[in-house]
Structure 1
Amino acid sequence: MVDPHNLSRRSFLLGSSAAAGLLAVGPAKAEGAATLLGPSDSWERLRRLTQGRLVRPGETGYDKAALPNNLRYRSVRPAGVVHCNSAQMVAEVLGWCQDYDVPFAIRGGGHSYSGFSSSHDLVIDMREMHTVRYDEESGEVTVGAGALNGQVYDALRRAGRMITHGRCPTVGAAGFLLGGGIGFNMRRLGMGSDALAKAQIVTADGRVRDIGEKQDSDLFWAIRGGAGGNFGVSTEFTLRTVPCDERITVFRIVWRADTLAVAHALFAAADAAPTALGTRISLGGVTSELGRQGRQVPVTLLGQFAGSEQDLRAILAPVVAVAEPDFADVRELGYWEGQDFLAEPGAPALFRERSTFLPAAPDAAFLKKAFGHLQRWPGTGAHGDLFFFQTGGRINEVPSDATAFVHRSSRWLSVVGISWSEDDVARPEIARRAGAWQDEFYAGLGDLGGVGAFQNFPDIALVDWRQRYYGANLDRLMAVKAAVDPNNLFRYAQSI
């Protein structure tokens, strides 16, 4: 007779990416497993297994532990949240989930755009696995799967090093890396995942694997842009770093007049700039009040330049010749002081974002249409916007099949975003109108030749998401998936 414990732990171990926090759906229950302990005893067993690191509804710390960053999913209340502090503990918890046929989600930073870090059953919270170690001899930094960006920044600041990193300190570093990872350094350093030297992952067979270019190289290829939750539970990442700039110029500049012409000039100036420039150009956010008053859609430039303020102003001179900015905060600072200036708190909010990659900057005709659509914003208590992260440079020097991150021919990553206020929650028709406005706007990005979508910004509304996230690399990703997870144990709403 087959022992149900061995069957579930060795053959049917469930898992998901610690970083992306993706919902795993369990397979059929092993015969007899559910009768081993009663429902309450099973949770007490989990509490003992994790040395008291389980919190359940009504217990101290539950509300904070259960809250996702995207408040659209706050009604998804887990039956328990367990705080793991080691890869072995994660393996034991996954075994418990299989024994009792309990679905789960894995949470790093909890910033999943599509709510994949939320579950009605168990949330496995990785944030106690937040160790960040810098090795001075190799220049590499090793990051635990539960580390948040802010903890990585602190370690790199002390070491005087940098990588491609984001702006939000509460985003999970692992989710950032597994999907590719964008930031103001990407044009000169590449995607965040391009810096990975090696990693550690727990696969469906229960093995803790140390992977790299020479060990499990196909799996190592797959985790660099293949997104979380497809191949196993990533528990550690080692990245190559470079010395950080002594000084950079950071800036936030806003135009509120002649903004159509300003936007056209701004995209041209940024496109022609050296890779030392990293930018985010935002059209909006538009509010109901702005629409009623008939004011122009504002244009905001945010970013950093690895050079002097004087040289930055020379780059932007053609834009300023069109119109003087209404607001400009430009500062020369030390590198990490500059990141403090650029940081986005990332507080919990109600939002939805849809992305695509553009092979060229938007032209004058498209910008005219975009401004018109922004001015027709139907309104929520918050705002809608269209923004662009500047890509290209070093990203596009890497072959599209060198890693799983396939989007290697873009110049811009565009995102249509909407958000709600708490007052809108009781008025679902407002959210529906805003969503329809967003979907129409997003479809129009195809006129620019928009290709694909960014797997770090999972979009539950996509029908062809596999192709849009992974493109020509999908077949190889599916082959890796079949090799390391032949029973498809690691699965969720948008798994490979």
Structure 2
Amino acid sequence: MTMHKSLSRRSFLAGSAAAASLVMVPPSLAETAIVAPAPALPMPPDRWETLKRLTADHLVRPGDASYAKAALPNNLRFSDIRPQGVAYCTSPQMVADVISWCRDYDMPFAIRGGGHSYAGRSSHHGLVIDMREMRKIAYDTNTQTVTVAAGALNGQVYSALNRAGRMITHGRCPSVGAAGFLLGGGIGFNMRRLGMGCDNVIASEIVTADGRVLTLSENENSDLFWAIRGGAGGNFGVSTSFTIKTAPADERITVFRMVWRENTRDVARVLFATADAAPTTLGSRIALGGVTREQAERGRQVPVTLLGLFAGSQEDFMALMAPVLAVGTPEFSDVQELPYWEGQNFLSEPGAPAWFRERSTFLPEAPDGDFIDAAFERLYQWPGTGAHGDLFFFQTGGQINALASDATAFAHRNSRWLSVVGFSWSEDDAARPDVVRRASDWQDGFYQQVSTHGAGAFQNFPDNALVDWRQRYYGANLARLEAVKAAVDPTNIFQHGQSI
């Protein structure tokens, strides 16, 4: 699925014209067309009373004391999407009943776990079906698997695995929903040695459009089981639980956060080469920060930040990093050897609600010197917001690429790095559209150039500005996914702006 290209500086800087095929209309127009679901028609009060009974009074409506919190998305770009109700489901049968109610009364809906959808998919003007009351987590000592209900958050899964002395591929934000994480693939610092999160799912449960509660595995409803491992949420039904293979948690790991602010261009070159050649025991995220013209005039360089874990000793990690440290000394360095789950506390990010926009593509090889030079030129053009703009990379490869691209619905099996051009803004910026527009234009131009050197886009980072999202998310797996969709949801009950 991924084509290898030379990441030359000349082709990088000339990428805008070639990238026109990636975004066939201006991104702002494409995004406007699909970013917000259409308002739902008002529902008569007696029908809401019916839903209230179906949910055993677990229904929040406008005017209720808890409505403001219930309606708040993690990405504040979508805070103006106000649901007519939020139904907190407590069992698969309740989910089925609520889906039937929506179908009977033509009420559009969104499904929400942790609420961290980059594209606002967990918000809706109709009904939000919230899963957070379904958060049971059970570890089986005989099979060494963990079964996670769809409403569990990452932080709750971490606590359960810590008690069991086990680990999986997981992210670093405790408030992300486990279901959304797994359905789209699931990336984390363990993925190079354990595979994607979805690669370790061995069974699942789902409520389909016709109200059935199905068990999924390689031997039972196998096509649908294939589809939910990377086919992304909101397409085939409401997933209500996942059974996942676990591995013994490392007794000790080395976790690290390093920031360079001097000689950063040379540091970045050596850092990418060093990380790319490292064993799969290294999991890393490399970020290059945007610098405004005023900051550059004061001598500020593009900062380089390395974050991650190494499944080995601190001594061995520092030996691995020796070529990088020979080029530049970090302004900030925190390297600790800790028990596995203590190390995850070090790496975690709060994930508090904020305004942000991110655009991703997979790279078949590490950025080389020419790529980095061109990227730095773009980063020095950052127009600035009250927050930040950056280009960052999650290291992929390893066990992710050990599977065929059609082994699961997650098709991106030929990459070395996942690149993301992102920016965020402040509440003050939100009231100044010109500031956000300039930053968005910078991001779109940067993304078009980066995209000419990669392929695909990460379905767990949904991007409303993509026109060819079907191919970029799913590649050659799209046709099979469409067939599964037609079989399990023929009337397209489960739909959103980029649904299959």
TM-score (norm 2): 0.91
1:115 aligns with 2:120: yes
Name the counterpart of 2:159: 154
Matched, 1:468 2:472: yes
Of 89, 98, 106, which aligns to 1:101? 106
Q: Please list the CA deviations of residues 443-482 of structure 1 after superposition, one character each: whole Å capped at 9, or x if unmatched.
A: 11134x2100000000000000000000011111111112
Q: CA deviation at 1:294?
A: 3.6
Q: Does 1:485 align with 2:489?
A: yes
Count of paired positions: 466
Counterpart residue type for residue 91 of structure 1: A
Which residue type is aligned with residue 104 of structure 2? D
CA distance in 1, matches of 2:272, 2:371: 12
C-alpha separation in 2, matches of 1:401 and 1:101: 35
Residue of structure 1 equivalent to 2:454:
450
Question: Residue 86 of structure 1 aligns to which amino acid in structure 2?
Answer: S
**Match of residue 298 from structure 2:** 293
Structure 2 CA distance for aligned equivalents of residues 24 and 155 of structure 1 = 36
Matched residue, 2:95 = 90
RMSD, aligned α-carbons: 1.7
Deviation at 1:98, TM superposition (A): 2.0
Q: Among residues 351, 365, 369, which one is paired with 1:360 in the alignment?
A: 365
Q: Provide the residue aligned with 2:342 in structure 1.
A: 337
Q: How far, CA to CA, are the matches of 2:36 and 2:292 in structure 1?
A: 34
Secondary structure of the residue aligned to 2:379 is: helix
For residues 84-118 of structure 1, the C-alpha deviation after alignment (integer angstroms, 9 at most, x for no partner) is: 10111111111121222211111100000000111
Q: How does 1:42-441 map to 2 (within 5 A)?
A: 42-286=47-291, 290-291=295-296, 293-441=298-446
Counterpart-to-counterpart distance in 1, 2:143 and 2:86: 37
| Secondary structure of the corresponding residue to residue 250 of structure 1 | strand
For 1:429 and 1:24, the matched residues in 2 are separated by: 24
Q: Which residue of 1 aligns with 2:11?
A: none
Asked whether the 8 Å contact 2:261–2:302 carries over to 1, the reply is yes
SS for the counterpart of 2:353 is coil
Instruction: Identify the range of structure 1 (450-459 vs 53-62) with the bigger mean alpha-carbon deviation.
Output: 53-62
Q: Summarize the Cα distance change of 1:84–1:319 in structure 2 as closer, same or farther, 3 Å threshold.
A: same
Query: Structure 2 CA distance, aligned partners of 1:383 and 1:474?
Result: 35
Q: Output the amino acid matched with 1:144.
A: A
Distance in 1 between the 2:448 and 2:69 partners? 37
User: 1: CA distance between counterparts of 2:124 and 2:232?
Assistant: 19
CA drift at 1:487: 2.3
CA distance in 2, matches of 1:408, 1:454: 12
Q: Quote the Cα distance in structure 1 between the aligned partners of 2:72 and 2:177.
A: 15
TM-score normalised by the chain length of structure 1: 0.91
CA contact (8 A) 1:164 1:181 kept: yes
Distance 1:72 1:26 in 2: 17
Whole-Å separation in 2 of the counterparts to 1:290 and 1:169: 33
SS in 2 for 1:417: strand
Deviations 1:24-75 (A, max 9, x none): 8899x9xxxx9xxx71111122112211111111212111111000000011
Measure how far apart 1:121 and its partner are. Answer: 1.7
Amino acid at match of 1:482: A
Shift in alpha-carbon separation, 1:25–1:434, aligned structure 2, 3 A: closer
CA positional deviation for 1:385: 0.3
Q: What code does the residue aligned with 1:204 have?
A: A
User: Does the CA-based 8 Å contact 1:24-1:105 persist in structure 2?
Assistant: no
CA contact 1:187–1:278 (8 Å) conserved in 2: yes
Higher relative contact order (CA 8 A, sep 6+): 2
Which range moves more in the overlay, 47-56 or 128-137? 47-56
Separation in structure 2 between the aligned mates of residue 356 and residue 424 of structure 1, nearest angstrom: 27
Partner of 1:6: none
Q: Which secondary structure state, in structure 2, belongs to the residue aligned with residue 45 of structure 1? A: helix
Is the 1:26–1:103 Cα contact (8 Å) retained in structure 2?
no
Which amino acid in 2 is paired with 1:284?
A: G
Pairwise CA distance, 1:485: 1.9
Distance 1:197 1:25, change over 3 A: farther
User: In the alignment, residue 338 of structure 2 is paired with which amino acid?
Assistant: L
Instruction: Mark the runs of 5 or more structure 2 residues left unpaired by the alignment.
Output: 1-34
Question: How far apart in 1 are the matches of 2:36 and 2:401?
Answer: 32
Structure 1 residue aligned with 2:7 = none
- Determine helix, strand or coil for the equivalent of 1:438: helix
Secondary structure of the 2:321 match is: helix
Aligned-residue offset at 1:285: 4.9
Contact 1:256 1:325 in 2 (8 A): yes
- Deviation, structure 1 residue 286: 4.0
Unaligned runs of 5+ in 1: 1-21
The letter for the 2-side match of 1:188 is R
The Cα shift of 1:291 comes to 4.1
Residues 283-326 of structure 1: per-residue CA shift (max 9 Å, x gap):
01546763453410100000000000111011110000101111
